[in-house]
Structure 1
Amino acid sequence: MSVDLKDLETTPTLSLDPFGEAEKEPEVPAAPAPEAVKPAFDESILNDDERKMVDSFAKQIDLTNNNMILQYGAGAQKKMADFSEAALENVRTKDLGEVGDMLSSVVTELKSFDAAEEQEKGFFGFFKKNANKLDTMKNKYDKAEENVTKIVKALQNHQVVLMKDIAMLDKMYELNKTYFKELSMYILAGKKKLQEVRENDLKELMEKAERSGLPEDAQEAKDLDSFCNRFEKKLHDLELTRMISLQTAPQIRLVQGNDTQMVEKIQSTVVNTIPLWKSQMVLALGVEHSRQAAESQREVTDMTNELLKKNAQTLKMATIETAKESERGIVDIETLKQTNESLISTLDEVLKIQAEGHEKRQAAEAEMQRLEDELKNKLLEIRR
């Protein structure tokens, strides 16, 4: 069952009946031999009122009361147990590892945005690629900003919880101081009473038993000595509880210090890292705009110069060709020369063909005359 720190007392109280029980407990067998009484605590940790309370309380202690010995300081021990349970519940329900993971997630998200991502080169795809790069940067920034905003909101919620825990740990520390002083007062009062009984009552009973030699006197001294030994062990248990309380104080401060450091880290992330990242991203987008504008201007200038050079070369070639054509005659001399040579060759061929035809016709006429004469001769031979 969990314990609320608000229900725990914040001022030292001393009581011989912490649980409201007045019944006598069965007598416990006595311990064998008495031990030397330990020196009382230094009373400098107590103020005047607390010293008076201790002295008054010590007078009420009855070492012959079994129930009183059993219950002595039990209330303070119960408070310390309840306090330890509350402290354990606080530590168990808190997960600082989750906060650390969130801080790491912030770093991961911030690193995911790379404003200097390299792009492919080339003039024809330049404008499209630059537009795509800028859109990519904006998309990455929007996505990272959305994730970072969610993480920061969760971190701020944890920050509120941690700050409440820090305040609660202050309360726990003050409670622990109270229980430490209360245990010290129980121990101091008990040691005073124990020392008083051993130096006075027990000493008198032992002397009485030695003088009388009666067994009942010896048993009475033995019983009181057993009560003293039991009460001394009870004080030792209280000293152990007091030591636990003493060790708890630095442990509370260590936990509180861890919480404080985590709150400071969250605060630094929220008020320094995130705004710095956003300003850097805005600058990166602005630089990218300027870079793209300058690169566009450079590409346009280079293309203009290239076009001017190409146009000048084309104009030069066209002008030269036009001038050449304008200086030429309607018919080239070479063409006339070739035509003339071809005409002369044609005439020569025609004359040659005509001469050959004349010769062939003369030969044909002679041949036909021969044939005619041959035919006439043959016909004359038939008439004879």
Structure 2
Amino acid sequence: MTESKSSGNAIKNIMSSFSDFSMTQPDSSEGHLPGLFSSLSSENQSKALHLASKIDVSRYDYVLNFGSEVQEALKTFSHNLLVQVQRNDTSPIREVLHKLMEQLEKINPDDLIENSKGFFSKLFSRRKSTIQETMSQYNRLSKQIDRLSIQLQHAQKGLILDMNMLDELFRLNEDYFHHISVFIAAGELKLMDLKKNDYTKLLNKVEQSKDDPMAKQKLSDLLMSIEWLDRKIYELQISREIAIQSAPQIRLMQQTNQMLIEKIQSSIMTTIPLWQSQISILINLNNQRRANMMQERLMNASDEMIRKNAKMLKSTANDSNRKTISHADIDVFKQTQLQLIESIEETLRVQATSNEQQTALESKLLEIDQK
């Protein structure tokens, strides 16, 4: 920012040297005005006229240095723009965004409900530590995503600062464009005046006094001066073209930065909270599904026990001579009882885990809401 300000001050110092111009407004009825001069504002036309009146084509060093102050300032500006382009490397930001997407894609919400071979299904397929493993995986990914979010926030602040710097560079580039246009217009005015007036006068003088070698030399010197000035104008036009080409380059960098700023904003404010909310809800839904499955198993075990009890009672009624219960009957009863106890214990574990998970879910959603 300091370098851009110094470049701007250089231009201001150059243009502040303009005072009341002494060259009169050219008469457009006597010939066509230079196109660039006609496109200038009234204020810049006055400055161009003043500059044209000060051009001393008899001095090579004056013509050589004409407009050099603006060219030097433009050179400094081009250097600052190059530095900004080198700083504007967005590949690290894109890498962070890719890492964020990789973390989000590690858990596919559809796999939890639809795909029995999905990530969560593999975790939930085991009866022990399923919920704990799932939450551990979720918490690890969540922390990684939080770290990526912090990196994106820092990157976003840097991009906004770069946007402000590019705005300043664009303004300076516009100033250079207008100022160098004034110098070109002044040179074209002087060139037109030399060709139309000075050259015509000297040519007539040479024709009238063909034996005067000094008149021929003055005409030759004037033609050389015209050539100097013409080359200088061409050089200034190249500098002006640099300013013209710099404008869309600056805007292109700004558009790239703006796109990344919006992507980062969307990731931080929308994608990440949505992912956290969605995964929490899906984990809770999976817990409810497991609880329903355990309850169904308990009901099936109860029905099976009732059927076996009925069968055992029927067998007892038909065998009135039996005085004791057979070992087979005892084994059947023990097996049924163990199945029932296991089903009840599993149901209690699932329900307890579901309650813990529900509490954790509520805390997580509250934390997201407070963010």
Structures share fold, TM-score greater than 0.5: yes
Query: Residue 64 of structure 2: SS of its match in structure 1?
Result: helix
Matched, 1:192 2:189: yes
Give, in angstroms, the shift of residue 6 of structure 1: 2.1
Alignment partners' CA distance in 2, 1:38 and 1:236: 20
Is the 2:124–2:131 Cα contact (8 Å) retained in structure 1?
no
Deviations 1:252-296 (A, max 9, x none): 111110110010111111111111111101111211221122112
Q: Give the structure-1-normalised TM-score.
A: 0.72
Alignment partners' CA distance in 2, 1:265 and 1:202: 64
Query: Residue 4 of structure 1: SS of its match in structure 2?
Result: helix
Q: Which residue of structure 2 aligns with residue 235 of structure 1?
A: 233
Gapped regions of structure 2 (runs ≥ 5): 18-30, 118-122, 324-371
- Rate the CA distance shift 1:52–1:127 in 2: closer, same or farther, 3 A: closer
Structure whose residues are more often helix by fraction: 2
Query: Residue 139 of structure 2: SS of its match in structure 1?
Result: helix
Give, in angstroms, the shift of residue 219 of structure 1: 0.6
- Rate the CA distance shift 1:293–1:216 in 2: closer, same or farther, 3 A: same
Q: Which amino acid aligns with 1:268?
A: S
Alignment partners' CA distance in 2, 1:244 and 1:148: 44
Q: Which of 252, 255, 258 is matched with 1:257 structurally? A: 255
- % identical equivalent positions: 26
- Rate the CA distance shift 1:44–1:282 in 2: closer, same or farther, 3 A: farther
Q: For residues 294-333 of structure 1, what are the structure 2 equivalents within 5 Å? A: 294-321=292-319, 323-325=320-322
Alignment partners' CA distance in 2, 1:127 and 1:47: 76
Is the 2:88–2:162 Cα contact (8 Å) retained in structure 1?
no
Query: Residue 200 of structure 1: SS of its match in structure 2?
Result: helix
Relative to structure 2, which stretch is displaced further, 133-142 or 7-16?
7-16
Alignment partners' CA distance in 1, 2:15 and 2:157: 40
Q: Which residue of structure 2 aligns with residue 7 of structure 1?
A: 6
Q: For residues 116-127 of structure 1, what are the structure 2 equivalents within 5 Å? A: 116=111
Q: For residues 37-52 of structure 1, what are the structure 2 equivalents within 5 Å? A: 40-43=34-37, 45-52=39-46
Is the 1:202–1:221 Cα contact (8 Å) retained in structure 2?
yes
Query: Residue 8 of structure 2: SS of its match in structure 1?
Result: coil
Q: Which amino acid aligns with 2:91?
A: G
Deviations 1:298-357 (A, max 9, x none): 121112222222222223223332x1447xxxxxxxxxxxxxxxxxxxxxxxxxxxxxxx
Q: Larger radius of gyration, structure 1 or 2?
A: 1
Alignment partners' CA distance in 1, 2:32 and 2:313: 119
Is the 1:206–1:221 Cα contact (8 Å) retained in structure 2?
yes
Q: Which of 57, 76, 83 is matched with 1:82 structurally? A: 76
Q: Which amino acid aligns with 1:301?
A: M
- Rate the CA distance shift 1:306–1:45 in 2: closer, same or farther, 3 A: farther
Q: Which amino acid aligns with 1:285?
A: I
Query: Residue 167 of structure 1: SS of its match in structure 2?
Result: helix
- Rate the CA distance shift 1:311–1:119 in 2: closer, same or farther, 3 A: farther
Q: Which residue of structure 1 aligns with residue 275 of structure 2?
A: 277
Is the 1:40–1:188 Cα contact (8 Å) retained in structure 2?
yes
- Rate the CA distance shift 1:232–1:308 in 2: closer, same or farther, 3 A: same
Aligned residue pair count: 300
Q: Which residue of structure 2 aligns with residue 334 of structure 1?
A: none
Matched, 1:163 2:157: no
Gapped regions of structure 1 (runs ≥ 5): 18-36, 121-125, 327-384
Give, in angstroms, the shift of residue 13 of structure 1: 5.8
Q: Which residue of structure 2 aligns with residue 134 of structure 1?
A: 131
Q: Which amino acid aligns with 1:9?
A: G
Question: For the aligned residues, what is the CA RMSD?
Answer: 2.6
Alignment partners' CA distance in 2, 1:216 and 1:189: 29
Q: Which amino acid aligns with 1:306?
A: E
Give, in angstroms, the shift of residue 93 of structure 1: 2.0
Q: Which residue of structure 1 aligns with residue 246 of structure 2?
A: 248
Q: Which of 184, 187, 203 is matched with 1:206 structurally? A: 203
Q: Which residue of structure 1 aligns with residue 223 of structure 2?
A: 225
Query: Residue 8 of structure 1: SS of its match in structure 2?
Result: helix
Q: Which residue of structure 2 aligns with residue 268 of structure 1?
A: 266
Alignment partners' CA distance in 2, 1:162 and 1:93: 10
Give, in angstroms, the shift of residue 39 of structure 1: 6.1
Is the 2:36–2:181 Cα contact (8 Å) retained in structure 1?
no
Q: Give the structure-2-normalised TM-score.
A: 0.75
Q: Which residue of structure 2 aligns with residue 379 of structure 1?
A: none
Is the 1:176–1:245 Cα contact (8 Å) retained in structure 2?
yes
Alignment partners' CA distance in 2, 1:234 and 1:112: 64
Is the 1:162–1:259 Cα contact (8 Å) retained in structure 2?
yes
